[in-house]
Amino acid sequence: MADTDADGFEVIGVTPATVLKGGTLSAGGGLLLQVRSAIQRLGDGQVLEVQSAEPAVKEELAAWSRLTGNQMLADLDAGDHTRYFIRKGASGVPREKPDWGIKLPRRPGGRLDMRDWFVGRLGDVPEEAPAYLGFVPRGAVREPGMPEFPYTLNRRPEVWADNIADLYEQATAQQWNASTDIAWDSLPRLPDDVERAVCQVMTFLAENEYAALYIPSRFLPRINAQYTEVVLFLATVINDEARHIEAFTKRAVANGGGLQYSASLTEWSLHSLLVQEDYFQSSFLLHVLGEGTFLDLLDFLARFAPDPVTADVVRRARQDEGRHVAYGIAHVREQLRADPTKSEALVTAAEERSAVLQATTGANPMVMEALAIISGGGSLPEQMARGVEAVRALFNDMHEYRVRRMLQLGLDEATAQKISRLHTPNFM
């Protein structure tokens, strides 16, 4: 095999795969670094040509090649420079090539949207991902010999949801600021009984949101980073919950009241959720049942809120929770589709949790009373009567919507009814 290059030299048996023009760059001035990178990009046995006008480079290139297991084949005088030919030694590593030439489309307004990035190597979401891929961005070419990361969720169906990129884009578009986006100045003075009820509900909401923050935080580091859309989305969930805790706490202390009572039922309920080790079961209990039920609670509060500021806080929180529920439904549905027998694990999870909670009182009177006062408009007997009726209707709605969400998952009516009735009286 002969190769005639532009300078007219013929090098028998050597066809450089790459030519590196070093000019007068010294070995220590960056040339060796460039040579190492260039060699790394080659396949075993391929040849790199280095052109250099710097005489001292000769000794260094020869020594470097020996030490790194590569072979200096020849150096040729080419007049104003020297041509060095280095053959890459056997590294035993098949060389993958990274993507090049990808240019994602822009959406109206110049948007670069995650939904459009499923192209090339980045777009190849693997069914199963080895734990040694660590933090290698999906699509990048890795070097072998990396450590295993402590991931336990290494299979796509275990974490994926078909709407994940939509949900992520929604999440980033719908962020809000609990310090400045709420018209705290417009909060009117409320009668003490109503203010106290609002403060009690805010205490309860904040308490529950801690669980909704801690639970995805526990699972996130177990998810293989190859499923990056899920990881990024869960990061938005965690940030949402942080903002909700902030907003609910602020509402409790914004208007002359303060944080009120926490019930052991709530803590037992949230604890039983937190200790769940299985992501599939946890996702179902938290996102589908817990946050799903919370959607109905937040709807109820938005409808009966005694003032527009409180209504605004719960409406904003509800929008965020809607995304979390949408992830949970899509994620659990995807797994049930792949393996319908997994529905048994959902019944088991609900039963086990119910068994733990049976030892508790079964209701949270402070919260029930507060919800009745808010929906009845006060604590007078006729207001209470109206409020209790509204809360009863809320419970029916919660049950009905829980069942509907479970039907969306593909569970049958009887199973959905059974699980809904086992659901915690704490809502979450």
Q: Which stretch binds another protein (CB under 8 A): 85-93, 340-348, 359-367, 406-414?
A: 85-93
Minimum Å gap between C-beta 56 and another protein is 7
Q: Cβ–Cβ contacts within 10 Å for residue 240, how many?
A: 25
Among 79, 108, 109, 147, binds another protein (CB under 8 A): 147
Question: What is the rounded (10 degree) CA torsion for 319, 320, 321, 326?
Answer: 90
Structure tokens at 204: 């309860």
Among 8, 55, 79, 92, binds another protein (CB under 8 A): 92
Q: Which of 155, 150, 124 is nearest to 137 (CA)?
A: 124
Q: Which of 55, 65, 53, 61 is nearest to 21 (CA)?
A: 53
The answer to the question of residue 109 lying near another protein (CB under 8 A) is no
Beta bridge partners of 83: 51, 76
The answer to the question of residue 93 lying near another protein (CB under 8 A) is yes
The answer to the question of residue 90 lying near another protein (CB under 8 A) is yes
Residue with tokens 């079964």: 362
Minimum Å gap between C-beta 77 and another protein is 21
Residue list 13-42, contact with another protein (CB under 8 A) = 26-30, 32-33, 36
Among 10, 43, 56, 275, binds another protein (CB under 8 A): 56
Residue list 276-335, contact with another protein (CB under 8 A) = none
Among 17, 89, 210, 232, binds another protein (CB under 8 A): 89
* Residue 4 exposure: Cα atoms within 13 Å on the Cβ side: 1
Query: Alpha carbon of 287 to those of 91, 118, 157, 295: distances in Å?
Result: 48, 26, 16, 10
The answer to the question of residue 249 lying near another protein (CB under 8 A) is no
Cα–Cα distance measured from residue 325 to residue 346, given in angstroms and rounded to the nearest whole number = 16
The answer to the question of residue 140 lying near another protein (CB under 8 A) is no
Q: What share of the chain is helix, strand, coil (3-state, %, to 5)?
A: 55, 10, 35
Query: Alpha carbon of 396 to those of 232, 403, 423: distances in Å?
Result: 35, 11, 13
Residue 86 and residue 58 in contact, taking contact as beta carbons nearer than 8 Å: no
Among 13, 63, 191, 351, binds another protein (CB under 8 A): 63
Backbone angles phi, psi at 203, to 5 degrees: -60, -50
Minimum Å gap between C-beta 88 and another protein is 11
The answer to the question of residue 67 lying near another protein (CB under 8 A) is yes
The answer to the question of residue 126 lying near another protein (CB under 8 A) is no
Q: Which stretch binds another protein (CB under 8 A): 62-70, 95-103, 112-120, 255-263?
A: 62-70
Judged by beta carbon, residue 25 or residue 247, the one nearer another protein is 25
Judged by beta carbon, residue 148 or residue 382, the one nearer another protein is 148
Binding residues (CB under 8 A) for another protein: these are 26-30, 32-33, 36, 56, 59-60, 63-64, 66-69, 89-93, 132, 144-147
